[in-house]
Every structure is written in C-alpha cells, then in structure tokens.
Copies of this chain bind each other. A is one copy, B any other.
C-alpha cells in the first residue's frame, strides 16, 4: 500500500498523467508535478483546476527540479512524502530518477527506455544496457519498478501476456501494430518530442525472429494491415522498446513492432535524415557555432502539446499474437481504439499522449492498492494483466479482442 504521487516531467504525457491522477486522488493521495521548467508544471495544474479534475480536495503542487540530479530528485521525493514516482520526463533522465527511487524506496515507473543523448540504438536487448543492471538492487531494497508502462511499451506487453496465458499452449509470434489515423492539420509534426521521436527511426531496426536478433533499416520492411475502425493502413517494421523485453520473456516467439507511416511522413523523414539534419552529433556553422541539427529541427517543428486542439481521428494500437492451442493454430488481435478529440475534451491532450499517459496512472493505482506493488523491477508482461486491463477499461482505454469468434470486449472473450 503506497500513496502520494510525484510526476517527473511536464510535457503532453505528463498533462494526461496529472489529470488522471487528479481524477483518482482518493486512491493516490497527494499529487506533485516537477520539471526543469516550473511554469510548465503550473500550466498543467491550472488546466486541472479549470477542468475540475480533482476527485476530492487534496494536495496538487508544482516543483522545479533538475531530474538528471539523483540527489535532488531523492530530496524532492522525501520532502513531498511521495511513495510513487511516475517518470514521464525525457528518457535521458530515467536512470537518475530510478536511482532516486532506489535510494528512497519509492515505487518507480517510466514509459520509455533510458537513453544517453549521444548514443542512438544500442546493443539489444536494450533493457540490459541500463535498466536490468539495477534489477538486483531493486530486489534487495524491495523497490517496485515498472519499466515501460505507457501504451507501447506497456499495455501492449500486457496484451501479449493475456493472449498467451488465455488462448495458447505455445506462442509463435507477437506483432505489435501502432496506427495513428489521426490528423493534426500541420504540414508536418511529431506527436511527441521530435528529438525522441526521430531517434526511434534513425537507428537500426531490431526484431527478434527465429530465436535471434535481426537487423533492418527503417522503412525497409512494410506491410499493409487491416485493423478495426482505422481500416487498411501501411505500417513499417520499427525498432521499439517492448521487442527487447518480450523477446527475452518469450524467446521462442518472433517479436516485431510495426508503426504506421504515410508517404508524406516518410518523405519528410527521408529528406531530413539523408541531409544529416536528424543527427544527434553537433555540427559547426560557418560562424563557428556548435549546434546539434536534431535540436534545430525540434525548434522549428510545432510543439507536440500544441497539436491537441486541432487533432481529429483515431488511433488503433494492438497485438496480433499467433500460437498453438491443443495442437491447433490460433491467432488473436487484442487492441484499443482511442479518439484524439475525446482525449482533448477530457484532459486537454491529443490521443497519442492520452494512450501513453493513462496506463502509468492505472499502474500507480495498482501499486497504491498493493496489487502490483511487487517490491522488484518488472517489465509489464511479468505482471498479472487482468487487474490492469480491468482498470484501463474503467479509466479511459478499453481493450477489445478480435478473433475467429468476432470482435468484442476482452473480458467477454477470456
């Protein structure tokens, strides 16, 4: 049983996390929001006040913190009495925040793999480079740490576990498909921090196939998918966090991640990449100024948080899991559909932020009531998926299943 949440970060996902925590503060207790820029925290608090999102009267406070400074984060955890930390800051701060949790005993969550600014696409499995090196210390100290608990990674890991546990004796493949069929109305924009977004696509594409890591280039392997609600959509094999834990936990399955891209996105990306404008390595201008090109691209693109008011359309993210049951081949597609406009009306964010921000709050509630407060480090597929999916049904991200028997809510199918 834990209470009081410290949210690290004040971007689009943090906005959703904060709103959802507020909506459930009877369970979660005090809410603290901390980031490098105090004004961004205050803006989130103001939007919570405006929407009247606090379920009961309670603490809702902003703090300035340098999240790369473990000692400062630990001090903030102690000073605020926070027992649960939801880290939705930049992936560059993950390990310093995790260290603060290990030091203070607070539960830790993040939604993306740790990254170092000057490295792109490290050796697979990615989690072994930073996160899993701290697994033993979490266990020794009884620290609950849930890695990658956004939608993907996160909910899709729980989908895989549910599918395998309920419908299969043996899993053969897990294909995670992420389609955003929404429209933001700009010439070009990324749905979250461009710096992080592009880093996903500039490295090698790792997939786990035939019991080994396979390397491809971005946009090298494409496939058309026919999905519920969003229909036929082209998606490309993409490197993604969850492949790197699912492959370790289900080594006999092929594990692939597919992300939907329109031709226009690919064209803009290709031009920027080929010109070297997505590089994380500094270049020097004729005037001698050292600049990281990717940071300039980020500066000229629309702020992802600004997209929300005009965003329309839906996302569909799910797992196609194939395997065997009683000697027969089975397959199931487990998925969620989210709506950009509905997300904006509820919490002031677009659908991509919404799908990433709601799951860690569900996890926080499961830590608060003890269900997921395991006292160890875990990827999401290592935790019981049912209470998690139950809670997501109730707080805004309902799960559905499509298989040979039709398309229906997941709990009617299991």
Contact = CB atoms under 8 A, between A and B. Distances in A.
Interface of A: 187-188, 195, 267-268, 271-272, 274-277, 279, 283-287, 289, 291-293, 295-301
A300 B276 contact: yes
B293 A296 contact: yes
Given A267-B267, A291-B291, A298 B285 contact: yes
B301 A295 contact: no
Contact of A289 (B268, B277, B279, B291): B291
A289 B283 CA distance: 14
A277 B277 contact: yes
A187 B299 CA distance: 24
A256 to B, nearest CB: 29
Closest 10 CB pairs of A and B: A276-B300, A271-B271, A283-B299, A285-B295, A187-B274, A296-B296, A285-B299, A268-B271, A291-B291, A291-B296
Contacts of A285: 291-292, 295-296, 298-299
Contacts of A295: 285-287, 289
A199 to B, nearest CB: 14
Given A188-B271, A275-B301, 10 more contacts: A187-B275, A188-B274, A276-B300, A277-B297, A283-B296, A283-B300, A286-B295, A286-B298, A289-B289, A291-B299
Contacts of A299: 283-286, 291, 293
A130 to B, nearest CB: 23
Given A283-B300, A295-B285, A295-B287, A267 B275 contact: no
A264 to B, nearest CB: 10
Contacts of A187: 274-275
A275 B283 contact: no
Identical copies of this chain, number? 2
Contacts of A267: 267, 271
A292 B268 CA distance: 20
B283 A293 contact: no
Contact of A275 (B268, B284, B289): B268
B279 A300 contact: yes
Contacts of A286: 195, 295, 298-299
Contacts of A293: 296, 299-300
Contacts of A272: 271, 275
A285 B158 CA distance: 37
Most buried by B among A272, A274, A277: A277
A277 B298 contact: no
Contacts of A277: 277, 296-297, 300
Contacts of A291: 285, 289, 291, 296, 299
Q: Which of A286, A292, A297, A301 is most buried by chain B, counting CB atoms within 10 A of its CB?
A: A286
A286 to B, nearest CB: 6
A156 B217 CA distance: 47
Q: Taking each of A268, A272, A276, A285, which has the highest tally of chain B beta carbons within 10 Å of its own beta carbon?
A: A285
Contacts of A296: 277, 283, 285, 291, 293, 296
Contacts of A268: 271, 275
A85 B348 CA distance: 63
A275 to B, nearest CB: 6
A299 B267 CA distance: 21
23 contacts: A188-B271, A188-B274, A188-B275, A268-B271, A268-B275, A272-B275, A275-B297, A275-B301, A277-B296, A277-B297, A279-B300, A283-B296, A283-B300, A285-B291, A285-B292, A285-B296, A286-B298, A289-B289, A289-B295, A291-B291, A291-B296, A293-B296, A293-B300
A277 B295 CA distance: 12
